[in-house]
Amino acid sequence: MRVTDQQLNEVRERGYTVVEDFLKPQLLQAAQNALWEIYPTPEDYFADPTAHARYASSQFAGLRLYPYPSWALNRLAVHPQLISAAQRLCGTNDLHLYKIELWAKYSGAIDYDQNHHFDYGNHSLVVPRRASSHLQMTSFILLSDVTAEDGPTRIVPARVTADLPLVPREQLPGAYADEDVAITGPAGSLFIYRTDILHRGTNFAAPDRSRFVMLVDYQPRGWPWTGKMAWPNHSISPHWAPALSRMSPYERTLFGFPGVGDAYWDEQTLRDVGLRYPEMDMTPYQR
């Protein structure tokens, strides 16, 4: 489903929006099936949590970085309507896809509760500029239903903290407990928010529950003080070449890949990049 201009205005004005039915059922089902190449199914996990003790080591033990074994997951990060939303929200087509993570949580594995915090801490060397029309677009694609029992993210609307300094990044426990809103929705929903918006993770409210989300973040290209992932460091993954080869030339530029017509391309680089990515169609770069 297309993210409407009204929903993007909600991000600008209140700091967040939720788009239900963002993923079509077939796309969602394929992505959900691909999760089990990476994570234990809820049935397997809750049959014997001790067999999956790694998820009890940290709130973030369920994080897995891009790329993934299946195109069904990899393609979600470059979903055409997600790119369109980022272009319109950030005000440019020259985008940097600076973070992609999968995150699995299982009830009872560990305490998932957090204090309210701003996300800029590991997204920027400085702080967000609230007066800027360009911003970092952070998003969650819900790959499972998220109800009030499933540890939903809780977010504080922008109006509440409009005059609050962005430092300290983390607030005192319970400081905004009467102001925050639970972000819930069926699987396939998209949650978009800004890095200058207070939010927190919460605990599950029932046993035998699980939550699976993909976090995809975009920003205008060219801000050396912002970002998170250095994609060349991930390009040695065996899943990198298959993923990049299935993308369009523009989608590759989101990761920093040289675009069509870039001065980088010559006879030697065309030959050798083609050898590195044997499944990639190099024809567009030959023009």
Residue 216 lies in a domain: yes
Give residue-wise pLDDT tens across range 215-258.
Answer: 999 999 999 999 999 999 999 999 999 999 999 999 999 999 99
Residue 253 lies in a domain: no
Give this prediction's pTM. Answer: 0.96
Residue 112 lies in a domain: yes
Cβ(260)–Cβ(284) below 8 Å: yes
Give which of 12, 121, 106 is closest to 59, Cα–Cα. 106
Q: Sorting pLDDT into bands at 50, 70 and 90, what band is 287?
A: confident
Cβ(181)–Cβ(155) below 8 Å: yes
Is residue 133 pLDDT above 80, yes or no? Answer: no
How far apart are the C-alpha atoms of 217 and 233, rounded to whole Å?
Answer: 18
Residue 63 lies in a domain: yes
Cβ(198)–Cβ(155) below 8 Å: yes
CA angle 245, 21, 98 (to 5 degrees): 40
Residue 129 lies in a domain: yes
Residue 235 lies in a domain: no
Residue 218 lies in a domain: yes
- For residue 164, give the CATH number of its domain: 2.60.120.620
Looking at the structure of the chain, the number of domains it has is 1
Cβ(88)–Cβ(137) below 8 Å: no
Domain enclosing residue 208, as ranges: 5-229
